[in-house]
Structure 1
């Protein structure tokens, strides 16, 4: 008899005929019934349950993706200011303060910890009790290998009653020393200053000594405040994010051009808050003992350098404020060098022709700046620079501050006037330049820089150095230098940067100028139509490279670094780029290179020679009481004959010149300070 096997679970259902009252028929018309096996029913139930679970999971993931999409749309399109509110919440948070510490932490403006004191355990010894110092030193070295055995044995010898073995030890090291059971060793509760950000803002923070006393930076300036109120953090104006971006950009420029150092500053142009202060080379604040003198040197507040052509912005502002030059009509003779005694002033790649007021800045003409300074003379030049803060130490909250080097008042002569007009013969710090140009661009108010964070919307008092009309014109001129002048490489589309490059030779220790050793710098403000921040970038002794086509001037060195800085920090600071072609902004920040006709042409196609002095101009309107005045002579701008004044649309009214006095007489002088290649004997 054949053995009958059960059907396979995956086989088709069996069909067997039934009676006439069956539920179905087969193909031949016979009645049939479908019999489903138990495994098949079980499999169908499992499939139904899986289908339901898949539907639920799909609905859940769909809802999740919909929520993420809605949140992303809200944060980036509907309300993109949400991160600003988050930053405000972060600023309100206070860093933790360790129990028992005697020195308050230091934070940046957003609450990021820059310096903090933590409790530690120190290991001390009484050498009078230790009779075998060499053996004890060997056993301690086995526990703490970073200690030098010979030096440790020397410290454990002698007749002293107290010495420090180490100022800070870990709990594991402490337990290991306890296990040694050496008589004469003891533990002391202490604290140690830590700098979590490493090298960030190290020259601002400074350091403390082994006893926790401030010895430099804000640690020294606010030493009493940090000790008297250890539970309240000291909030600085520094933004560590901007600080890191500035450091990276300056450091890269130093590497690209093989410089020996550099500096960078970012100021809030309306309050004077220092958002970033970078000096390179730097060091890790936690390892001050390994820092070299050059690393500890703060180039921003202590380094004195000739500012070079960045000072031409101050010369132009002074000429406009005193009314001795007019941006629409004044022309300056840059067709030939200026000879003064044994000195000769020339232009670097000059135009060798008469140039307009805007061209003097755009093309960075030394001759044009010198001729412009003739208009107001040496006494009023010194008075203007004094009011702009260029002759005194900055009042920033750091003990490391340098006093500018400038000729004394009774020796500020015509040759000094010439060279200082284009940034030679005077030495100031980078912070001086950034602060002075902030006043030029912010409406004319000079505010001393500060490292203390101010509440949002707070206003700081200042001193007016130029009028709002002069400042508005200077902003247009600063923008022109970036769009059409020597600072084109600094342009960042959408942020409407305005500024000025400056290249100056370095002076040697015994006086005189050093060949092929220069300072390349850029100073500016952005966005120039409504300035929010001022920027200064400098590289010390850059060398030419192939990328710069053999140049090491500021336009090739500092301007690209400024571009990198602004590209990175502008979004951090909450600035949104504008349309570079926005007609309203372009018109509000533009000024033509040649606002008036060029000098008439002489027969034969050459330019006609211009007289040494211009025709007398109308008396000036009364100046504001805050405008610096001087009883010195006024030298009017030189205007080529036959030139015709063209209208300047949308420019603020310029002050008119005062009646001319006696023309300047160039006389021989005794040996004066040279101006590094631009003033040659």
Structure 2
């Protein structure tokens, strides 16, 4: 080609041939150039398209200056339902009020108008924010539809609304301490709401993957019908006995499921303005108390299981026990030798202390730890307190702890340990999620012999038939139980007129299905001249709960069993 070009320079024919060669080269190089340009343009279009898309996305979010991201604000949460599918918590749409200060024409006029609908706005703070150079500020989160409509009619430039998610609790305070609550950004901060976040929901929300249609409802073990009964009976008892607080739980002895649990005073999670007040804590799992004579059942089980006593054993309760500067007496002493069943039904401090001393101090402490009374309980609820005990147990500690003074534990784990005494000897950590017997037994720990559990069932039943628990009797449901009246510690000393009362029950005790525990904090005598012991107040509350809820729990009345059969099988 080069040769032909040189040759062609001397005439017109050569010039034509030269043009042909040059045009051929130009076309080839031009085609490659256009391809490069097209590729370069495509890359830039993709790059700028991605940037534009991201800017559009961010622009739609209307981020609050210095505030949380939108995914956090409007993040969806799964419904929480009871074991029967009844809704305990759900998301609803609500409007929140915002302003764009740069678009506010007259801050004074805007504030004056807003105060006609929202009179509780902080005037000085709101005015300064409206006068600022911020692009976006929140004025009020989660308005009512009436407030939204009223503000819209004001027609204030630079003010608008944004749809957000708000948590709604149809039952109000009915199950407040179990379900928990969320903050203004719809994040779980207490109860099972917080548990759900801790299981990974918070991470899904942060990545924007918490899509409502993909969030399956979280089903709890709670039966809302029984929950209502428990709270209702507890509320009545607090009013009747003028107690400063109270709590109750219904626990499955076979699975560890919590069917109902209430603590009063409580709060309405839809309007939780008082949720953080001291007396609103969940007494059942977040409060620790000396549980009084309910501990006697655990002490008797310890001696019976160790073989240092049996139902025919006798213990001298003739005289008080003197130890150091302390005197251990019985509340209603018989002044004689007592059998083991008598120690239990007469709630003898002296007899119980004598039984405790049949084992070593070390054995006593190890047994209480084994049955779950001394360690922090394991369950889904975040609000769980750690029990307290002496750093070193001595003989005086062994004696007082045997009848419920010197160790403070949560009422819920007291119910858990009682279930192990009655269900055949298996310690099952409580759960607020559905669980069947097979699943429960897979993680259960055997803590006492089955024969020991048989004897404890007999003693519990005997106490309701003939002892301090008679007011808990419900014909046909074979209730067994133990009273507990503990003097409260005030200014480092036990008070004579301030008590923490409890009644711990199982039913039907011949084949226990449920544990019921009721506690009242500082109950007063119902009438002048009466006492305020647990047999007179917490025992009848337990009876009322069982009477109203047994059928709902699927327990059929049975009038064919006698305590004598239990006694024979226990010996």
TM-score range, shorter chain: 0.7 to 0.9
Shift of 1:175: 5.1
Aligned equivalents of 1:137, 1:258: Cα separation in 2: 47
CA contact (8 A) 1:123 1:166 kept: yes
CA contact (8 A) 1:101 1:118 kept: no
2:366 aligned with 1:356: no
CA contact (8 A) 1:263 1:539 kept: yes
**Structure 1, unpaired ranges of 5+:** 1-99, 592-649, 654-681
1:531-546 matches, within 5 Å, as 531-546=512-527
Aligned equivalents of 2:495, 2:106: Cα separation in 1: 60
Provide the residue aligned with 2:79 in structure 1. 105
| Alpha carbons of structure 1 residues 180 and 437: separation in structure 2 relative to 1, 3 Å | same
CA contact (8 A) 1:238 1:276 kept: yes
For residues 204-226 of structure 1, the C-alpha deviation after alignment (integer angstroms, 9 at most, x for no partner) is 11111111111111111221444
Aligned residues: 487
Provide the residue aligned with 1:476 in structure 2. 458
Q: What is the alpha-carbon root mean square deviation over aligned residues?
A: 2.0
Q: Name the SS of the counterpart of 1:283 in structure 2.
A: coil
Shift of 1:540: 0.2
Provide the residue aligned with 1:268 in structure 2. 252
| Alpha carbons of structure 1 residues 176 and 252: separation in structure 2 relative to 1, 3 Å | closer
2:513 aligned with 1:513: no
2:543 aligned with 1:563: yes
Q: Name the SS of the counterpart of 1:383 in structure 2.
A: helix
1:118-137 matches, within 5 Å, as 118-137=92-111
Shift of 1:575: 1.5
Shift of 1:237: 0.8
Shift of 1:401: 1.1
Provide the residue aligned with 1:678 in structure 2. none
CA contact (8 A) 1:141 1:148 kept: no
Aligned equivalents of 1:290, 1:435: Cα separation in 2: 30
Q: Name the SS of the counterpart of 1:369 in structure 2.
A: helix
Aligned equivalents of 1:586, 1:321: Cα separation in 2: 21
Q: Name the SS of the counterpart of 2:404 in structure 1.
A: coil
CA contact (8 A) 2:462 2:563 kept: no
For residues 578-630 of structure 1, the C-alpha deviation after alignment (integer angstroms, 9 at most, x for no partner) is 11xx2x444333x4xxxxxxxxxxxxxxxxxxxxxxxxxxxxxxxxxxxxxxx
Provide the residue aligned with 1:651 in structure 2. 569
1:587 to 537, 540, 564: 564
Provide the residue aligned with 1:391 in structure 2. 374
2:467 aligned with 1:485: yes
Greater Cα offset, 207-216 or 180-189: 180-189
| Alpha carbons of structure 1 residues 147 and 306: separation in structure 2 relative to 1, 3 Å | same
Shift of 1:155: 4.5
CA contact (8 A) 1:283 1:295 kept: no
Provide the residue aligned with 1:33 in structure 2. none
CA contact (8 A) 2:264 2:280 kept: no
Q: Name the SS of the counterpart of 2:381 in structure 1.
A: coil
1:592-607 matches, within 5 Å, as none
For residues 354-399 of structure 1, the C-alpha deviation after alignment (integer angstroms, 9 at most, x for no partner) is 0001000000000000000110121100010010011111111122
| Alpha carbons of structure 1 residues 173 and 343: separation in structure 2 relative to 1, 3 Å | closer
2:403 aligned with 1:422: yes
| Alpha carbons of structure 1 residues 377 and 103: separation in structure 2 relative to 1, 3 Å | same
Provide the residue aligned with 2:67 in structure 1. none
| Greater helix fraction, Structure 1 or Structure 2 | 2
For residues 267-323 of structure 1, the C-alpha deviation after alignment (integer angstroms, 9 at most, x for no partner) is 011000011111100011111124451343110011111111000100110001100
Q: Name the SS of the counterpart of 1:501 in structure 2.
A: strand
For residues 323-351 of structure 1, the C-alpha deviation after alignment (integer angstroms, 9 at most, x for no partner) is 000112x1000000000111110000110
Shift of 1:456: 7.9
For residues 155-212 of structure 1, the C-alpha deviation after alignment (integer angstroms, 9 at most, x for no partner) is 4343443221222235565455444432221222211111110001101111111111
Provide the residue aligned with 1:4 in structure 2. none
Shift of 1:248: 1.2
Aligned equivalents of 1:444, 1:572: Cα separation in 2: 26
CA contact (8 A) 1:203 1:296 kept: no
CA contact (8 A) 2:254 2:437 kept: no
1:198 to 152, 164, 172: 172
CA contact (8 A) 2:191 2:382 kept: yes
2:282 aligned with 1:298: yes
1:286 to 266, 270, 273: 270
| Alpha carbons of structure 1 residues 327 and 586: separation in structure 2 relative to 1, 3 Å | closer
Provide the residue aligned with 2:388 in structure 1. 405
Provide the residue aligned with 1:253 in structure 2. 237
Greater Cα offset, 442-451 or 564-573: 564-573
Q: Name the SS of the counterpart of 1:288 in structure 2.
A: coil
Q: Name the SS of the counterpart of 1:168 in structure 2.
A: strand
CA contact (8 A) 1:274 1:450 kept: yes
**Structure 2, unpaired ranges of 5+:** 1-73, 205-209
TM-score by length of 1: 0.69
CA contact (8 A) 2:75 2:186 kept: no
Greater Cα offset, 443-452 or 205-214: 205-214
